[in-house]
Each structure stands twice: as C-alpha cells, then as structure tokens.
Amino acid sequence: MRAVTFGSALVAGSSALVGAFAFFQRKSLAGDAVSHAILPGICLVYLITLQKDPAQLMVGAFAAGMIAWVLIDRLSGKSILKPDTVISLVLSTTFGLGIVLLTYIQADKSGNQSGLDRFLFGKAAALVGKDLYVFGSMAVLTVALVVLLFRGFITLSFDRSYGQLIGMPVKGLQAILTMLTVMAVVLGIQSVGVVLMSAVLITPAAAARYLTMDNRHFLILAVLIGAMSGVVGALVSYLIPSLPTGPSIVITSSGIAFLSFLFAPKRGVVYILSRRARQGHRVAEENLLKLLYNHQAFSNAAEGERATLSALTQEEGQARELRKGARSLTLKGQVYGNAEKGWRLTEAGQVAAKRIVRLHRLWELYLSEQLSIAADHVHDDAETMEHIITPEIEERLLEILNRPTTDPHGEPIPR
C-alpha cells in the first residue's frame, strides 16, 4: 500500500510539473497523443523480443513517444494542417496501430502475452517498492532540471522568438522539455494507463491556473495538486477495492479542478457571478441616486416632496431595478420613503448623488470636447462609464477639461 501511495504521488506530481509547461505552450492535447502513441512502441518491442521485460518495454514506449512528439511538432510547423488536426491524426493513427498489434498479440495461445493490456488502463496496484526508486529518480531529475532551466523553459513557453534573439539554446531546451514530458508519460501509463494519462498531465495545471497567475506559484500548486490526487486516489482505491487506482487519481484531480473553476478567488465562476451581481446592484443604486437628484433639480419639487416610481420611469425592467436599489439605499441612510409614496434623498444621499451626476456630466463633456462627438450622442456612453470611473480618473478628467462648471448641454456640474 505504501508503494502504491508514494508511487502514485511521485508519478502524478512529476507529470503535473512537466504538464504545466505543455499547458503554457498550448500543447495540452499533444500529451494525449504521445500517451496513445506509446502503445504500438510497447507492442513492437514485445513482438521483437517476445519478452515482457519492463526496461525493454519502456525503451520502446519512450522511442514511440518521442517519434509522436516530433511528428506533431514538425507537421504543425511545416504543413498547412492546423495543430489540432495534426494531433488528431497522430493520436488516432498510432493508437489504432497499437490496438491492432495488441489484438494480434493477444491471439497468441501461449499465454505469454498476458499483462500487456494493463498499459491501456494502468494498474497502479501492481507497483512495488523497487518502482519507487525509478519514480523517485524521475521526480528528482525533473525538479532539478526545471529549477536549473526555469528561466529558459518559461521563455520558451511564452516567447520563443525572444529566446532565440538573446541567444538561448531554444532547440536544446525544447528537446529537454520534450524528453521530460515523454518520460513522465512513459512512467505514468503504468499507474493510469494510456487512456487517462493526459488528464494526469494537464488537469492539475488547469486547476492551478485558476488559483494563481504567478508562474512559480503555479508550478508549485500544479505539483501539489497532482501529488495530492495520487495519494487520495490510491487511498480511495484501497478503501473501496472495486475502484481502480488510476481512474480514482484522475477523478480526484478532476474534482479539485472543478472546485477550482467554481470557487477560485478572483477567477472562479462563483466569484465572477457574485462580482457581476454586486456590480449590477451598485449600478441600480447609482441610477436611482441620479434619477432622484435630477428629479429634485429639474421638476421644481417642493421641499420634502418625494419622487414616485411612475415619475422616475415607465419601464417595468428599470422599475424592478430601482426598487432593489431603493431598499439598499434606505438601509444605508441615503434615501427615505417607499415605492407607493415615493422617495427622497437624505443629506448623505445628496452627496452620493452629486458624485455620480458629476461623473456622468464630466464624461459627456470629455466625449464632446476631446473626441468631437455631438452633444446629443454622448449620453449612452456616459451612462456606462459613470459607474466605473475611479477617483484617479475623475481627477485626470478635471485636469484635462480645466475643471469645468457645465456639461455640453449647459447643465451645471455638481461639486
């Protein structure tokens, strides 16, 4: 059990590290193609040697994976085919060849061929103590090379042309990164198999990207998510024997990724939706403040007279938004009244309303004077911009417009 747990953690963690760079280079599907291309390499080695020596099978797997990666790279860069088309061709062709060879081998009645099909779906439960030395060595080598060549790998991933311009050995760096990726796939198929290996490579990176934009933190998080998925997947398969380890690892990492997509700070779906809701609520509040200010200023409203909903708008959709805004503004002490009898601004509401009206009229004046837009065409744009102008932008507008006192329509700009 210890061998399976630690072996799964090492494989998933090191795979996530090299998979992160494939993610950077937008070659996520290339790892999938490489993992599927490994199968015919394993089958061919067996047909040549008629032995299931793990070292020989891994050499064949590595050679087939390298050939597949080089094919994808060359065909993508030097043919009229798009990268996704090239990846699909390589994946389907090599995997189809592997299935044909595996079927041919399994037709042998001697029984010596048994066990090769475990490379399709993996068999992490078969890991033993000696496998940890191999996986541990691969993990140490991967981490060491990434630390030593981090700047080169990052430059290669984001700006290959710049790397060539400053004299970086771009081809050598790409070769090292490719070999690390293929080696991670070769070792990983023993745990999760050909079919699911791409998930082990890419899913931790996808989850980590939602959590941080710092590249160093991203790599660390990807490794941690991968390693944790390996540990949890192994434990789940141990506690529930009917669940295989490889798929359990993939389900765990996918679950972490799903939670990251939903709840990640600043980038998660929940955060974005809540931010949009807050923004919409704030816009409704500011629109009501502006409408009440204009109503009191232009309708000759008597002291204490309130503005009813029908006086502010005839649109049902806007009326609902105004009601929502009125409830929160009432709690803030900026508005008093109700929908039936109408609302009126408090002193605090007057201050807030003056600011939003000032921003609206400043932006109208800017569009009219600086961009030469007709005064009767600036209102809609100002309606949008008034809600997102920061104090710094407001001060800059005042400087550019020489601290104006009226808008393009001759209306006073509140102070």
Query: What are the tens digits of pLDDT across the range 130-168?
Result: 767 777 888 888 888 888 999 999 998 888 888 888 888
Same domain, 286 and 385: yes
**Within-domain flag for 213:** yes
Could you tell me the CATH number of the domain that includes residue 335? 1.10.10.10
CA distance 235 to 1: 8
Same domain, 229 and 283: no
Of the three residues 213, 236, 264, the one that is the final residue of a domain is: 264
Strands, DSSP E only, in 209-313? none
Structural domain that includes position 288 = 272-400
pLDDT value at position 204? 92
Weakly modelled stretches of the chain, pLDDT under 70: 108-129, 131, 298-305, 309, 314-317
pLDDT value at position 186? 81
Count of domains forming the chain: 2
Could you tell me the CATH number of the domain that includes residue 176? 1.10.3470.10
Same domain, 238 and 379: no
Same domain, 247 and 280: no
CA distance 197 to 199: 5
Same domain, 77 and 169: yes
pLDDT value at position 263? 93
**Within-domain flag for 157:** yes
**Within-domain flag for 86:** yes
pLDDT value at position 364? 92
Same domain, 300 and 227: no
Tally of CB atoms within 10 A around 165: 10
pLDDT value at position 366? 93
pLDDT in tens, 64-120: 888 988 888 888 878 788 888 888 888 889 889 988 888 888 776 555 555 666 666
**Within-domain flag for 415:** no
pLDDT value at position 241? 78
pLDDT value at position 317? 65
Q: What is the pTM of this model?
A: 0.76
pLDDT value at position 267? 87
Residue by residue, DSSP assigns 368-408 as HHHS---GGGSHHHHHHHTTT--HHHHHHHHHHTTS-SB-T
Of the three residues 208, 234, 264, the one that is the final residue of a domain is: 264
pLDDT value at position 304? 58
Of the three residues 248, 264, 280, the one that is the final residue of a domain is: 264
Whole-angstrom CA distances from 305 to 318, 323, 327, 352 are 22, 18, 19, 19
